Amino acid sequence: MSDPTLLVLASLAEGDKHGYAMLEDIQRFAGVRLGPGTLYGAITRLEERGWIRPLKPADDRRRPYALTPGGREYLEEQLSGLNQIVRTGLRRLKHA
């Protein structure tokens, strides 16, 4: 999975995070190092769609983001679709 929007949503599913914390978390759980431009491109798209929302920054600069109920629903749908693909792929490999 390397879609930056899904990686951001999966990171925020654990709890609210600001940009740098998301980069570190995504590298840890997915092994993907997102560039800062890619990360904020994803944040912009997700906020426009209402799937994440900005929170008040603790230090006026590092603004955390939170998953919205719509974002959680979208992430669940996408992950369940991916899960189906992974299971089917593994089963077919086994019988190939």
Partner 1 sequence: MKSFARWLVGLYPRQWRERYGVEFIALLEDANLKWRDIFDLLRSALEARMNQTALPHIVNLASRDIPNGYELETAVEYPREDGSTLLVRSFHREIDLGDSYITLNHSTRGFEPAQTILVCGKKGEVDGDFRTDQTEMLILQIDGTVQRTEQTVKTWLKYDAIRDRMREKYRSGMAAGLSPDEIHRRILATD
Q: Applying CB under 8 A, which residues contact partner 1?
A: 18-20, 23, 35-41, 43-44, 47-48, 50-51, 53-54, 56-57, 60-63, 68-70
DSSP string, 40-87: HHHHHHHHHTTSEEE---SSSSS--EEE-HHHHHHHHHHHHHHHHHHH
- Cβ of residue 58: shortest distance to partner 1, in angstroms? 11
Taking the least distance from each CB to partner 1, the nearer of 59 and 94 is: 59
- Inter-residue contact 51 to 6 (CB < 8 Å): no
Q: What are phi and psi of 53, to 5 degrees?
A: -135, 145
- Cβ of residue 53: shortest distance to partner 1, in angstroms? 6
The tokens describing 1, both together, are 């999975």
Taking the least distance from each CB to partner 1, the nearer of 70 and 89 is: 70
- Cβ of residue 96: shortest distance to partner 1, in angstroms? 37
Taking the least distance from each CB to partner 1, the nearer of 53 and 78 is: 53
Taking the least distance from each CB to partner 1, the nearer of 15 and 57 is: 57
Q: What angle do CA 50, 52, 53 make, to 5 degrees?
A: 90
